[in-house]
């Protein structure tokens, strides 16, 4: 029997989309929220993973992002500005769209879930606003189809 559990996390963060033709090219922030969902086979006690354990895995990433500026590794103008002014920032490999951040966060979490052999699928729903999200699913076992 497979089942799904989920836990949500919220934080404040800023970014910009330098390529954007509208207001999003400016520095701005959001109250972000993610819903981390796991699918797998529960253990003998009926538990997929303890919610406290899931929080232990995800919380350090949220603490890193909290009140930080998330910046694309190619946005040299912003990286230089952030360094010169000693601001909190996190460099990510792609532009800071919801889609790319959903993938990046999923990959960060997946790395920490490898030890749980009973968990087969990770899904991260990344909310940029209360009604707009991107969602990414990642198979944690090689024999699973994404």
Identified catalytic residue from 24, 30, 66, 137:
24
Residue 24 designated active-site: yes
Give the span between the Cα atoms of 19 and 127, in whole angstroms. Answer: 21
Identified catalytic residue from 67, 76, 94, 144:
67
The CA distances from residue 136 to 28, 37, 112, 127, in Å, are 24, 10, 17, 12
Give the span between the Cα atoms of 117 and 119, in whole angstroms. Answer: 6
In this structure, the strands spanning 28-40 and 3-15 are: antiparallel
Residue 111 designated active-site: no
In the structure encoding, which two tokens stand for residue 21, read together?
Answer: 């033709």
Residue 128 designated active-site: yes
Which residues are tagged catalytic? 24, 67, 128
């Amino acid at each position: 029997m497979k089942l799904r559990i989920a836990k949500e996390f919220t934080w404040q963060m800023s970014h910009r989309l330098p390529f954007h033709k509208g207001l999003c090219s400016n520095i701005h922030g959001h109250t972000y929220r993610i819903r981390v969902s796991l699918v797998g086979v529960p253990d003998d006690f009926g538990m997929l993973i303890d919610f406290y354990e899931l929080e232990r895995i995800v919380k350090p990433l949220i603490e890193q992002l909290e009140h930080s500026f998330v910046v694309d590794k190619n946005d040299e103008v912003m990286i230089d500005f952030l360094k010169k002014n000693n601001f909190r920032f996190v460099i990510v490999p792609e532009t800071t769209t919801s889609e790319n951040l959903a993938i990046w966060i999923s990959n960060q979490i997946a790395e920490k879930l490898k030890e749980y052999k009973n968990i087969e699928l990770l899904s991260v729903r990344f909310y940029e606003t209360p009604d707009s999200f991107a969602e990414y699913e990642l198979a944690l076992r090689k024999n699973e189809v994404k």
